[in-house]
Structure 1
Amino acid sequence: MNGFEQTMGAGPLLGIAAGAIALILVLIIYFRIHAFITLILVSLLTALAAGIPGSQIISTLTTAFGSTLGGVALLVALGAMLGRLLEVSGGAQALADGLIARFGDKRAPLALGIASLIFGFPIFFDAGLVVMLPIVFTVARRLGGGLLRYGIPVATAFSVMHVFVPPHPGPVAASELLGADAGLLILVGLLVAIPTWIVAGQLFGLWIGKRIVLPVPDILSGGPQVEDRTDPPSPATVVGLLLLPLALIFLNTGLDFARAQGWVNADAEWFGIARAVGSTPVALLVAVLVASYVIGVRRGRSANEVESSLDSALGPVCSIILITGAGGMFGGVLRASGIGDALASALDGVGLPVFVAGFVIATALRVAQGSATVALITAAGLVQPAIAASGYEGVQLAAIVLSLAAGSVMLSHVNDSGFWLVGRFFQMDVKTTFKTWTVMQTLVGLMGFALSGLIFFLA
């Protein structure tokens, strides 16, 4: 923000952050005030308490809200449209039946999780989750046992790939800052990501799914489920439609990776056009247009029927979009107020070993401001001088990057837009989201830190 310099110390700022989080929980859980209203109100109060100038408060709120919506609204809306087309055509049911026939009822969560690990290599967490949810919901309806049994393995798979494995932005940026080899980081990242998914996704998902049995929501279906169609598209057609946006997004992330390695000229016109085509909103738009024809018009549905199906997908996800944006607003206020910087500075001089210090700083930044990517990149910048002085290289340097990544995913809570995205898609209240999503993310962080530490000391 122009002209604003925080003068409060770390203690008062951390007290403001803790009070703001507690107020959010009290208003939502005990007073039952809508999460959207609560987040806006507490964001405003936090900005005032942290000393952000009155002339800059509204711009701070709207900028953070808008930047979050810019990454979420198009994605969620287009993903919901694609999901609705798959549902009404019978395609989601056909693919679910195919998965169950191939892997069996008991291994359905494993099959969904493995598919998500593969899909999660090129695409971001939220994009992959939205694309996979129609299949998750359909399998959960077909087999029973509650949503979490199937949803947690899928959400965890996308999460571990996003936080630990290039070409995702957090690990790529951290590797560039610290000088780690990106190719080696992919290999070491997979060694951390896959066992972490087995524990935090598969095992925890089955365990928590038995204790908290959630009904399968209709939120991506535009209302009650349609009757089973007698002429559903083949599972291969559905897989092709799911792979289409993933292939386009992979083009984009591949180009980013090539740019980071210096293989292509980032100023070339073709590079900019290719990146635009491979951006997540454009990739999903292309998928919706193709699906509208392939499993819509070509299979005998009128243009009016297809349009009606697409329109019915938007209403149920509006609340998700707005609450996620408000969660991003709260995190943006915490960043703008300097709370995250104050906490990081306080921890930077504690004197811990650099491997442990990086994890602790990244965890503190994650708790303070919500964004895993921001926490990872900021923590990497803070420990960069110490790492350069220590002379780490190769596998050890990759393990340090992964320890920072592990810290950046710890203890997700109400200032994390992902907390609201998953909680609202799964239609969980705040308490249940803490018991499921927050615990899962913390397991990912702890497992990632333990495994990266093992690799670091064995290298």
Structure 2
Amino acid sequence: MENWSQTLSTGPLLGIAAAAVILILVLVIKVKMHAFFALIIASLLTALATGIPLDSIVNDVMIKSFGETLGPIALLIGLGAVLGRLIESSGGARVIAERMVDIFGEDRAAFALGVSSLFLGFPIFFDAGLVVMLPIIFAVARRIGGNNLLLYGFSGAVAFSVMHVFLPPHPGPVAAADTFEADLGVVMLLGLIVAVPTWYVTGYLWAKFINSRYPMIVPNIFGVEDPDQPENPPSLRTVLTILILPIALIFMNTSLSALGSAGKVDLDDTWVKALMLIGTSQVALLISAIIALLVLGRFRGVEGSALEKLVDRTLGSVAAVILITGAGGMFGGVLRASGVGDALSQTLSDTGMPLIFATYLIAVILRVAQGSATVALVTTAGVLAPAVATANFGVIDTAAVTLAAAAGSAFAGHVNDSGFWLVGRLMDLDVKTTLKTWTVQQALESVVGFALVLAIYAAF
């Protein structure tokens, strides 16, 4: 791959990418092939069609992108699922669900869960937030009853999505702000102004609408509440402490990183490195899961063999989620390696349209073409940074351009996006339903977010 360069023009590359997406949809929806196999087949054929060297296709592109996707995600899904199952089986989820309903009432429970997810989404990445919160979200939905999966699931999931897309310290906004030389504090402030109403319109209101169109029961991916749960479930304080622990540890990591960037602490100090290690998402969830095994398991009289079986069943239930998520990342990696995104972004950047519109559209095209929101955002910033530097923008305008790229990077996540498969599988949605609900939501999130960014840009 080092000496290889793409010789196909934008037109053929775009046609190949479109054909690959159509192939996946046909194999999964019409042929009823398992998504794991469909994604692998599409990845291989796309690599061949775009001319990637034969000796690089498997190891250098497919396996590498599969591993890069699963590296951070597999541990999060596995550990988060175990943590959620322990809270569920001990009766802790029931305790939280009942208290939520008592405080907010059944009519406002979904809204309250969404707001809670917004707060949690500030320090926690999208995938980690989902696996931490979905067991609680599902427990509340079961407690209230009815076919309300999308109302509750999407209210929480979209909250994590908007925070991940628009707010530092998430990697995409941070990298784009650095590339555009935008003030990170201003990006954070304006990002918050954009993210909250975007969640309300495209998360909570959309969830209410789409749930009325596609009413579904809550799936058993994290286990179903056992009717013979302990008569003495853990206290609310105990359960909340276990839930807040990984969030606090992760927030400690991001806070130290921000203080280091501001020169307040030395990131090379051993104690800082140790605390940041503890606060990485995977280690934080590991610590929390171990404590949950002790506090909600052994200390409550659950035998070691029973805990082992519980963990085995939980990991088995999420194995398909993990593999399909990795395969979706593989497909996106093949598209990136083929040069589809680079060719499209360069073509659009040469059209001469207003910079903020070009920024948004390039990010949209990159997102649709290769799947990763972070890659779309970072690549857009790299392509347009010289133009922004020569535009003599003020602080607000530069931050608005950064957020325009962020809005574009959220557009219409579909089969080449690992997040598409993660949401679909965790909520037990088939591909067709995920496209009609989650993909449309992501498009709405992008458009509404960009409209708010344009309003800020025009006002200043």
TM-score range, shorter chain: over 0.9
The answer to whether the Cα contact below 8 Å between 2:89 and 2:225 also exists between their aligned partners in 1 is: no
Q: Deviations over 1:346-382 (max 9, x none)?
A: 1110111011110000001101111001111110111
Displacement after TM superposition at 1:71 (Å): 1.5
Distance 1:297 1:372 in 2: 41
Q: How does 1:182-261 map to 2 (within 5 A)?
A: 182-221=184-223, 225=226, 227-261=228-262
> Which residues in structure 2 correspond to 1:57-456 (within 5 Å)?
57-59=57-59, 60-143=61-144, 144-221=146-223, 225=226, 227-456=228-457
AA of the residue aligned to 1:44: L
Matches of 2:414 and 2:161 in 1, distance apart? 15
How many residue pairs get aligned? The number is 458
CA distances 1:225-264 after superposition (whole Å, capped 9, x unpaired): 4533211112222121111001111122223323333443
| 2:48 match | 48
More divergent stretch after superposition (39-48 vs 434-443): 434-443
Output the TM-score relative to the length of structure 1.
Answer: 0.97
Give the alignment's TM-score, normalised by structure 2: 0.97
Q: 1-side partners of 2:225 and 2:152: how far apart? A: 20
Measure the CA separation in 2 of the matches of 1:408 and 1:260: 25
Distance 1:225 1:17 in 2: 46
Distance 2:425 2:291 in 1: 28
**Contact between 1:347 and 1:361, CA under 8 Å: does it hold in 2?**
yes
Change beyond 3 A, Cα 1:178–1:262: farther
Shift of 1:3: 1.9
Looking at structure 2, the residues matched to 220 and 421 of structure 1 have their Cα atoms a distance apart, in angstroms, of: 14
Letter in 2 for 1:304: S
Contact 2:147 2:218 in 1 (8 A): no
1:267-316 Cα distance to aligned partner (Å, 9 max, x none) = 33333332221111100000001111122222222232222222221011
Distance across 1 between alignment mates of 2:227 and 2:71: 32
SS, match of residue 290 in structure 2: helix
Post-superposition CA distance 1:66-116 (Å, at most 9, x none): 111101110100001001100110001110111000000000101100110
Alpha-carbon distance, 1:224 to partner: 7.2
User: 1:306-344 CA distances to partner (integer Å, 9 max, x unpaired)?
Assistant: 222222210110000000000000000000111111111
Partner SS state of residue 107, structure 1: helix
Q: Structure 1 residues 70 and 226, CA, compared in 2 at 3 Å: closer, same or farther?
A: farther
SS for the counterpart of 1:390 is coil
Task: Quote the Cα distance in structure 1 between the aligned partners of 2:23 and 2:327.
Answer: 15
**Does residue 39 in structure 1 map to residue 5 in structure 2?**
no
Residue type at the aligned position of 1:202: Y
Is the Cα–Cα contact under 8 Å of residues 149 and 206 in structure 1 kept in the other structure? yes
Show CA shifts across 1:390-431 (max 9, x none). Answer: 111222221111111000000110000000000011111111
Q: Displacement, 1:58?
A: 0.7
Residue 197 of structure 2 aligns with an amino acid whose one-letter code is: P
Unaligned runs of 5+ in 2: none
Check conservation: 1:95, 1:234, Cα contact below 8 A: no
Cα separation, 2, equivalents of 1:427 and 1:448: 28
Gaps of 5+ in 1: none
8 Å Cα contact 1:180-1:393 kept in structure 2: no
Report the Cα distance in structure 2 between the residues aligned to 1:212 and 1:420, rounded to whole angstroms. 19
Equivalent in the alignment of 2:14: 14
- 1:51 partner letter: G
User: Does the Cα contact within 8 Å between 2:88 and 2:225 map onto a contact in 1?
Assistant: no
Deviation at 1:120, TM superposition (A): 0.6
The more displaced of 183-192 and 122-131 is 183-192
* Alpha-carbon distance in structure 2 between the residues aligned to 1:174 and 1:257: 16
Q: CA deviation at 1:438?
A: 0.7
The answer to whether the 8 A contact 2:48-2:54 is kept is: yes
SS in 2 for 1:98: helix
> Match for 1:12: what amino acid?
P
Describe the SS at the equivalent of 1:241.
helix
Q: Is the 8 A contact 2:76 2:281 kept in 1?
A: yes
On the 8 A contact 1:344/1:365 being kept in 2, the answer is yes
Give the 3-state SS of the residue equivalent to 1:296 in structure 2.
helix
